[in-house]
Every structure is written in C-alpha cells, then in structure tokens.
Amino acid sequence: MTQPATGTVQQCTCPPARERGATVWLTGLPSAGKTTIAYELAGRLREEGHRVEVLDGDEIRAFLSAGLGFSRRDRDANVQRIGLVAEVLARNGVKAIVPVIAPYADSREAVRGRHAASGTPYIEVHVATPVEVCSVRDVKGLYAKQAAGEISGLTGVDDPYEEPESPDLRIESHTQSVQESAAALHALLTEERLA
C-alpha cells in the first residue's frame, strides 16, 4: 500500500470567485446612494466576468411586491420576497446586489438567516448617509412630498429606520465618490474571496 507523500498541500475545491454567488444587501435611507453604488459595483463585477443581478427595490415593488403597502407587515413581506429571490440567485452562482431600504433589523436578520441556512454568502452594507444629506439629494422627491404633507410614512423621517449595529461594511457616501464607495465594497468582496 502506497503512503501519501508528506508535506503535500491540499488543493482548495472552492470554485473561482467569479463563479461563487453571494448576496450584497445595501440598506440605508431613501436617496442615500444605494442604487447608484449597486450599479457601479455591478459594472465592475461584470467586467471581471461575474454573473450579476441588481434587484432594485423600486422594480421589485412594481412587480414582485405589487399590491403591498408600507405598513410594517407589508414592508417585512417585501423584504422577505426580495431576500428569497436573492438567496436563490446567489445559491446558483450569481452575485445578487440588493439596494433596498429594509428599515427593520429583524427583517434583515431573517434574510441573513435564510442565507446562513443554505450556506450562501451574505454581505450587509449600511449606506450611512445622514437624513439631512438625503433630503437635499431627494432623488425621487419623497422628502419634498413629505414636507408638503402629501405623503406620510417616509423612512427615517416619520417612519422608523433601524440602523444596522454591525454591518459587514459601512459606507458614508456623503464623504466619498460613488467610485470610491464601490471600490470599498469591491475590496471587501475580494477579501471574502467573492471577487
């Protein structure tokens, strides 16, 4: 019987980073810069040969979550639907980038738990832009409508936003460019052997 050679190095059986799926969840206030950073990161990853999908919160609301309102229960249902889609994509080798407010910590934790149960990588990123900056950016005019009394229940203004206590990465998009923010996120993915 032949003995194995001593000092041999075990080869990693992990697939290459570009074939490994993961969910990258960007949470933050409306107009924090989540979607802009998500698309910048997606472009970088695609250039490297990764399969990428951006699950834009507005698009999901229009289709997968059509009919849901903005009560806590409906917001949770929306987050869980997006979380399921992201986990299925990620489990099958896609980088699912999810720029969604997801205001409640327990909803986000349930999504993380779903990923953990299937052994699927999950990265939580807090785009920590102050509400004062978001209200000036006001990309969709929501802050102006809320101030005028046309809408209520705006996350971070008259509806709660529970900031992540220990995200995998915190990005302060008001102090750096979109490219710098995406680069910081890409560096984390590289460190985790996902890029």
pLDDT bucket at 134, cuts 50 / 70 / 90? very high
pLDDT value at residue 13:
59
CB–CB of 14/20 below 8 Å?
A: yes
Count of alpha carbons within 13 angstroms of residue 116, beta-carbon side: 7
Each residue's pLDDT tens digit, 77-91: 999 999 999 999 999
Q: What percent of the chain has pLDDT over 70?
A: 92
Lowest mean pLDDT among 11-25, 60-74, 173-187: 11-25
Neighbours of 138 (CB within 10 A): 15
Each residue's pLDDT tens digit, 11-62: 555 677 778 999 999 999 999 999 999 999 999 999 999 999 999 988 998 8
Mean pLDDT for the stretch of residues 121-130: 98
Q: Residue-wise over 25-58: b if at least 16 C-beta within 10 A, else e?
A: bbbbbbbbbbbbbbbbbbebbeeeebebebbbbe
pTM (predicted TM-score)? 0.89
pLDDT bucket at 9, cuts 50 / 70 / 90? very low
Q: What percent of the chain has pLDDT over 90?
A: 85
pLDDT value at residue 17:
75
Each residue's pLDDT tens digit, 139-158: 999 999 999 999 999 999 99
pLDDT of residue 3 exceeding 50, the answer is no
Please choose, from the candidates 79, 103, 93, the residue with its C-alpha nearest in 3D space to the C-alpha of residue 156.
103
Average pLDDT taken over every residue of the chain: 92
For residue 85 the two structure tokens come to 């889609």
Count of alpha carbons within 13 angstroms of residue 81, beta-carbon side: 18
SS3 of residue 94 by DSSP: coil
SS3 of residue 32 by DSSP: coil
What is the distance between the alpha carbons of residues 101 and 143, in angstroms, rounded to a whole number? 15
For residue 44 the two structure tokens come to 């970088």
